[in-house]
Amino acid sequence: MTEWVRRRSIVMILLMVMIAVVSGAGPVRARTLPAPAALATAAPGTFSLAVIPDTQQEVFGGDTRFANRTQWLVDNRAALNLAFVLHTGDMMNWDTSDHAQYAIARTAMQKLTSAGIPWIPAIGNHDTAAVCAGGSACPGQSAHVNVRGTPTFNQFFPVSSFPAVNGTFESGKVDNAWSTFTAGNMDWLVLNLELWPRAQVISWARDVVAGHPQHNVIVVTHSYLNAGGGIEQGNGGYGDTSPQYLYDNLVRPFSNVKLVFSGHVGNAASRTDVRPDGSKVVSFLGAFHSNSTNPVQIVTIDPAAGSVSTRFYAPKDGATWPQYATTITGVPWGSPQPSGSWVALRAVANDRFVTAEAAGAQPLIANRTVAQGWERFILHSLGGNEVNLWSLASQRYVTAESAGAQPLIANRAEALGWEQFELIDNGDGTVSFRARANNLLVTAEAAGAQSLVANRTAIGGWEKFVLVRL
Q: Which domains can be identified in the chain, with CATH numbers? A: 30-328 (3.60.21.10), 341-469 (2.80.10.50)
Q: How far apart are CA 392 and CA 341, in angstroms?
A: 12
For the residues 281-292, what does the mean pLDDT come to?
A: 97
Residue 221 — pLDDT band, cuts 50, 70, 90?
Answer: very high
List beta partners, residue 349: none
* Whether the Cβ atoms of residue 306 and residue 331 lie closer than 8 Å to each other: yes
pLDDT in tens, 96-144: 999 999 999 999 999 999 999 999 999 999 999 999 999 999 999 999 9
**Predicted pLDDT of residue 337:** 57
Cβ density class 397-410: b for 16+ within 10 Å, e for less: bbbbbeebeebbbb
Q: Rounded to 5 degrees, what angle do the CA atoms 411, 412, 418 make? A: 110
pLDDT 10s digits, 377-400? 999 999 899 999 999 888 789 999
Instruction: Give the distance from CA 181 to its chain's centroid.
Output: 14
Look up residue 186 and give its amino acid: M
Q: What is the pLDDT of residues 3-30, one digit of tens each?
A: 443 444 444 444 433 433 333 345 654 3
Q: What are phi and psi of 373, to 5 degrees?
A: -60, -50
Of 237, 239, 192, nearest in space to 51 by CA: 192
pLDDT per residue as tens digits for the range 287-337: 999 999 999 999 999 988 999 999 999 999 999 999 999 999 999 887 555
Give the side-chain half-sphere CA count within 13 A for 36: 8
Query: What is the model's pTM?
Result: 0.71
CA atoms within 13 A on the CB side of 390: 19
User: Which residues make Cβ contacts (< 8 Å) with residue 388, sequence separation at least 6?
Assistant: 338, 380, 382, 397, 398, 415, 419, 420, 421
- Evaluate if residue 435 carries a pLDDT over 90: yes
Report d(CA 208, CA 405) in Å as an integer. 36
Q: How many residues does the chain have?
A: 470
Q: Which residue has the higher pLDDT, 290 or 214?
A: 290
Flag whether pLDDT at 57 surpasses 90: yes
What are the φ and ψ backbone dihedral angles of 125, each rounded to 5 degrees? -60, -35
pLDDT at 353: 98
Q: According to the model, what pLDDT value does residue 125 have?
A: 97
Q: What is the reported pLDDT for 18?
A: 41
Distances (CA, A) of 358 to 127, 177, 260, 394, 409: 35, 26, 21, 9, 11
What secondary structure, in 3-state letters, does the chain show?
Answer: CCHHHHHHHHHHHHHHHHHHHHHCCCCEECCCCCCCCCCCCCCCCCEEEEEECCCCCCCCCCCCHHHHHHHHHHHCHHHHCEEEEEECCCCCCCCCCCCHHHHHHHHHHHHHHHCCCCEEECCCHHHCCCEECCCEECCCCCHHHHCCCCHHHHHHCCHHHCCCEEEECCCCCCCCEEEEEEECCEEEEEEEECCCCCHHHHHHHHHHHHCCCCCEEEEEECCCECCCCCECCCCCCCCCCCHHHHHHHHHCCCCCEEEEEECCCCCEEEEEEECCCCCEEEEEEECCCCCCCCCEEEEEEECCCCEEEEEEEECCCCEECHHHCEEECCCCCCCCCCCCEEEEEEECCCCEEEEECHHHCCCEEEEECCCCHHHCEEEEEEECCEEEEEECCCCEEEEEHHHHCCCEEEEECCCCHHHCEEEEECCCCCEEEEECCCCEEEEECHHHCCCEEEEECCCCHHHCEEEEEC
